[in-house]
Amino acid sequence: MMPDRQMHIEQESLIHKGHSYDFVDLTVRYKDGVTRTKPMVRHNGAATILPLLETPDGLRIVMVRNERVTIDDFLLELPAGGIDKGEDPSEAAGRELVEETGYRAGILEPLCRFLTTPGLTDELMHVFVARDLTHVGQKLEPYESLSVERIEPSRVIEMVDQNVIFDAKTMLTIRTAHAKGII
């Protein structure tokens, strides 16, 4: 049973329209009757991919070492990217996989979905497992700076456990895939 709603959005005002997301102010009436403004980010959603590559040396997870200017550092993470308006999440996942890793998936299966930061944005992250990979070459955007790494699943799990990998989408995907026996 769902609890009664304690807040009601009365108005939404656009602050800035962006390419992938918009900044808006919500006018919210709270249960105490007071109206307050809450800034938020409206997002088209995103897709994360867990690429599983069969090699002669065993299964590898294809990851990217991504330069993240927002934190002035490189992060080891799973490939991911935004969903274009009107695009199906699986299409975005397939597109981002090729762009960032250079691999095309023969099989793309949904794993889970989650809200990334619900106190700030409505971004919904769709997670897919990619199998039957074929190398077709990277197609990086001009602003992307990343390299591809192929890592044994046990090592990736260890790096999550040791907090070497601390990107949330990557951690959650690895934990979910491990719990479901995928890796």
Active site amino acids: 144
45-69 burial, b at 16+ Cβ within 10 Å, e below that, comes to bbbbbbbbbeeeeeebbbbbebeee
Q: What's the CA gap between 113 and 124, in Å, rounded?
A: 7
Amino acid at 101: T
Q: What's the CA gap between 62 and 133, in Å, rounded?
A: 10
Could you tell me which residues come within 8 angstroms of residue 167 by beta carbon, excluding any fewer than 6 positions away?
A: 75, 76, 77, 78
Paired strand residues for 75 = 66
Which H/E stretch holds residue 27?
Answer: strand 21-30
